[in-house]
Chains A and B, each alone.
Chain A
Amino acid sequence: MKQSTSRIVTTHVGSLARPPALFQAMRALDEGASSDRAGYETMLKREVADVVRRQVEAGIDVVSDGEYSKPGFAVYVNSRLGGYTTRQIPRASPWADSREAREFPEFYGLESRTFAGTISSWSNQMICTGPVTYKGQDLLSRDLVNLKAAVAAAGAAEAFVPSISPIDVVSNQRNEYYRTDDEFLYAVADALRVEYKAIVDAGFVLQIDDPRLSSHYVSNPGLTVKEVRRWAASRIEAINHALSGIPEDRVRYHTCYGINMGPRVHDLELRHVIDIILKIKAGAYSFEAANQRHDHEWRLWEDVKLPNGKSLIPGCITHASVLVEHPQLVADRILRYASVVGRENVIAGADCGFGTQASSSPEIHPTIVWAKFRSLVEGAKLASKELWKRTARKAKAKPARRTAQRPRRRAGRAR
């Protein structure tokens, strides 16, 4: 995995707003209004090439395919897993009856209406009625082929592919086949392992998307932090099971709080689960850090030791504000993290995806997302300049032998 060895590397969380024509073509196929699959596939390949090229041009080092082929970061898996029957149910707000909705009923009452823009106002309730299998090989290999071609054409430094966590999958589904929840979870983990392995075998970095780990607390008002911790500690074993044999260095783990455009006063604090998250066999951890609720959590790393060789990917830009982060603010955030975990262990990222659902109304207008990316890159440059300043001077004075093994925590303190 590309690390910030000589400068701060940039990336994001994966999903980007689909171009309107691609969204329309996908929707038409989905609703049966069109049968031109070949035309859609051609368009998809072209758009993936385009979005990868644009990321490279914007200066993003570790790019994705924007999750362009997926109807949503989580529901995409419905067509890739076998062993289910489906039932159409109305799409409900994911925050219904959460701690948040209980405290802000009027706000969340309004918010639930905004789901009309997603690919369908209905969703498939997946009911597991037989052994879970992975049947998405073709869809996945199409995505990987498209991305590989796009990366080669654009000359991207590295690419990652987001894939959903088994914890999230089972939370969205019903099990009527396996005797216990654990059996079901591990069956899903085994199936997803096929996808995880294929992504890594194709030479990409795998990103496990796991919003559920952090949002379980807010969605379950009856649970205490202690109970959520116990739940999380047992659940992450399934992720590690799915990852067994896959080199940590090829895996990054992303958790967040779901795309909640609300007040979020009940978000689980990172300090409550960080020890559990660090047990996940990944080389890097991506989390929210650029919004009003989690910006202060960099201090956590004054007390928590990041294991050797691992990187943090804190969000330095956010989907939670239309305002474009000033590059200096991005740099300040990077410097804060560098001051507590060392510059070489920080990759500048985003809070969450910018197009988590294929939708006609993404979280933030795409033109603003690209402006945010430019700020991210510019901020990383400012931070790199600050963090490698001394090295550069030293390199001039002496041979650069020692710079490779600078002790941790030597990186310029942010304050």
Chain B
Amino acid sequence: MKRSTERILTTHVGSLIRPPELLEFIRARQAGRPYDKPAYSRCLKDSVAAIVREQARAGIDVVSDGEFGKTISWSQYVLERMSGFERRPAQIDPYAKGADRTRFPEFYAEMDMADPARQAGSFQPVCVAPIRYTGQAELQTDIDNLRAALATVKVAEAFLPVAAPTSVVPDRRNEFYRTDEECVEAIAAAMRTEYKMIVDAGFVVQLDDARAAVTFDRMVPPKTFRDYYRWVNLNVEAMNHALEGIPEDRVRYHVCWGSWPGPHVTDVPLKDIVDLVLKVRAGAYVIEGANPRHEHEWKVWETVKLPKGKVLIPGVISHATNVVEHPELVAERIARFASVVGRENVIAGTDCGFAQGPFHRRVHPSIMWAKLEALAEGARIATKQLWGAKRPAPKPARRIARAQRRAAKPARRVAKPAAKRARRGR
């Protein structure tokens, strides 16, 4: 995995807003209407090439395929890549629960009214047969498309985001395995194929796991924090089985609290689950850090030690507001993280994806790009602060103090030259 050895690298969480022409095919596919399959394949390949080029242009170092190959959401896409599930119309909307919803019922009623996906009705996936991975061909297409796209651009590295076992087909019911634990293990064993294929293809794999944190809001109360903690721990163990033998250095693990635009007052604090997050056999942890509910949590890393060799990818821009982050704010956030875990252990990222499904978008596409550009600009400013002018690297032990001192200085005086120099260097 590429690290911020000479400058702060940039990345994001993976999903990006799909182009309209691609959505036409996906709409037909989802509705079961006939569509021109070769034309869809060509459109998908071209769209991935274009989105990779756009990321490179915006200044993103570690790019993704935008999750363009997934025709359902970031977590439900697995239904098309795995055997054992059937979809039944849901009696009760599985999303329509949780402590936040209980506390803000009027707000959530309005939010649901405005969401066409929620109006369309809901379904529940039920496990009725043995779970096996069947998505090799689709995954190979994703790998090939991303590889082809990378041939035409210069970026540091590429990653493919996929679902962590916890988040594979969430709100599922199990009618086949003896226990839910067995079902989770079966999912993990199946997903191992996906994770391994991605790493074997030379990409970094990212395990997306909104459900680990979100489940607290859905579970407690009536259950207790201990129950929840035990549940997450069980899922982490299953995930680690799936990751066995895969080099940690090729794995990123993404934790978020759900990207929906709600108050989020019942989000579980990071400090309460950070030990479980760090237990996941990954080389990098991708965690929200740029929204009003989780921005203060950089301080968690003052007391919790990031294990040696691991990387933190905090969100320094957010999907949760249209307002585009000021590059100096991005730099300030990066500097805070650098001051507690060391500059070489920070990659600047985003809170969550910008398009959790093909038809979702958290902000307008033009704003998404403005945000990604602000991310890159902020990383250049932070690089300038953290590395200063070209000088031999300071001794490791002194790096943190130096970063802190630099972080305390006003950013704006150096903003412009830093940008220019960094651009020349690229």
Specify the chain B residue showing the minimal Cβ separation from A257: B323
B67 on the A face (CB < 8 A): no
Q: Are B326 and A324 in contact (CB under 8 A)?
A: no
Within 8 A of A (CB), among B101-125: 103-104, 106-107, 110
Beyond A107-B366, A296-B329, is A323–B264 a contact (Cβ under 8 Å)?
A: yes
Say how far B12's CB is from chain A's closest CB, in angstroms: 16
Are A292 and B321 closer than 8 Å at their CB atoms?
yes
The residue among A294, A324, A331 with the most chain B CB atoms within 10 A of its own CB is A324
One of A110, A293, A328 near B326 (C-beta < 8 A): A293
> Are A265 and B324 in touch, CB under 8 angstroms?
yes
A264 to B412: give the CA distance in the assembly, Å. 18
Q: Is B155 an interface residue (CB 8 A)?
A: no
Verify if B408 is at the interface (C-beta below 8 Å from A): yes
Determine whether A75 belongs to the interface, using a CB cutoff of 8 Å to chain B: no
B410 within 8 A of A: yes
Is B292 on the interface with A (CB-CB < 8 A)?
yes
Q: Are B263 and A324 in contact (CB under 8 A)?
A: yes
Contact with B along A367-383 (1 / 0, CB 8 A): 11001000000000000
Which residue in chain A gives the minimum CB-CB distance to B327?
A296
Q: Known A106-B364, A415-B407; judge A329-B412 contact (CB<8 A).
A: no
Give B364-406 as 1s and 0s: 1 = Cβ < 8 Å from A's Cβ atoms.
1011001000100000000000000000000000000000100
- Give the contacts of A249-304 with B (CB-CB under 8 A): 261-265, 271, 290-296, 299, 302-303
- Contacting residues, chain B, for A231 (C-beta < 8 A): none
Rounded to whole Å, the gap between the CB of A104 and the closest CB of chain B is 5
With known contacts A263-B323, A265-B324, A296-B328, A371–B370 Cβ distance under 8 A: no
Q: B217 on the interface (CB 8 Å rule)? A: no
Report A385 CB to chain B, min CB distance, Å.
Answer: 15
Contact B326 A294, beta carbon cutoff 8 Å? yes
Taking a contact as CB atoms under 8 Å apart, the answer to whether A107 and B367 are in contact is yes
B-facing residues in A301-358 (Cβ within 8 Å): 302-303, 317-318, 320-326, 328-329, 331-332
User: Smallest distance from the beta carbon of B105 to chain A beta carbons, Å?
Assistant: 8
B173: min CB distance to chain A, Å: 31
| Contact residues in A for B407 (Cβ distance below 8 Å) | 415
Q: How far is the CA of A263 from the CA of B104 in the complex (A)?
A: 27
Question: Is the CB of B332 closer than 8 A to any CB of chain A?
Answer: yes
Known contacts A299-B411, A324-B293: A263-B264 contact under CB 8 Å: no
Q: Which residues of A contact B299 (CB under 8 A)?
A: 328
Return A306 CB to nearest CB of chain B, in Å: 16
**Cβ of A87 under 8 Å from chain B:** no
Contacting pair B293 A326 (CB below 8 A): yes
Determine the chain B residues whose CB is within 8 A of the CB of A230 once the complex forms: none
Instruction: Say yes or no for A365: interface residue by CB 8 A criterion.
Output: yes
Residue from A104, A291, A299, A322 having most chain B Cβ neighbours under 10 A: A322
Complex: A323 Cα to B332 Cα, angstroms: 21
A320 touches B323 (CB 8 A): yes
Q: Report yes or no: A262 in contact with B322, Cβ–Cβ below 8 A.
A: yes
Pick from B265, B293, B324: contact of A293, CB under 8 Å: B324
Are A329 and B292 touching (Cβ within 8 A)?
A: yes
Residues of A within 8 A of B328 (CB): 296
Closest 8 CB pairs of A and B: A325-B292, A328-B296, A365-B107, A296-B329, A292-B325, A329-B296, A263-B324, A107-B364
Given A262-B322, A292-B323, A292-B329, 18 new contacts (CB under 8 A): A104-B366, A106-B364, A107-B367, A262-B323, A262-B367, A293-B323, A293-B329, A294-B326, A295-B332, A320-B321, A320-B322, A321-B323, A323-B320, A324-B292, A328-B299, A329-B292, A331-B296, A415-B407
B residues within 8 Å of A by Cβ?
A: 103-104, 106-107, 110, 261-265, 290-296, 299, 317-318, 320-326, 328-329, 332, 364, 366-367, 370, 374, 404, 407-408, 410-412
Give 16 pairs: A residue, B residue, CB < 8 Å, sorted on A.
Answer: A107-B367, A110-B364, A263-B367, A264-B322, A265-B374, A292-B290, A292-B317, A292-B321, A292-B323, A317-B292, A320-B321, A321-B292, A322-B320, A323-B293, A365-B106, A367-B104
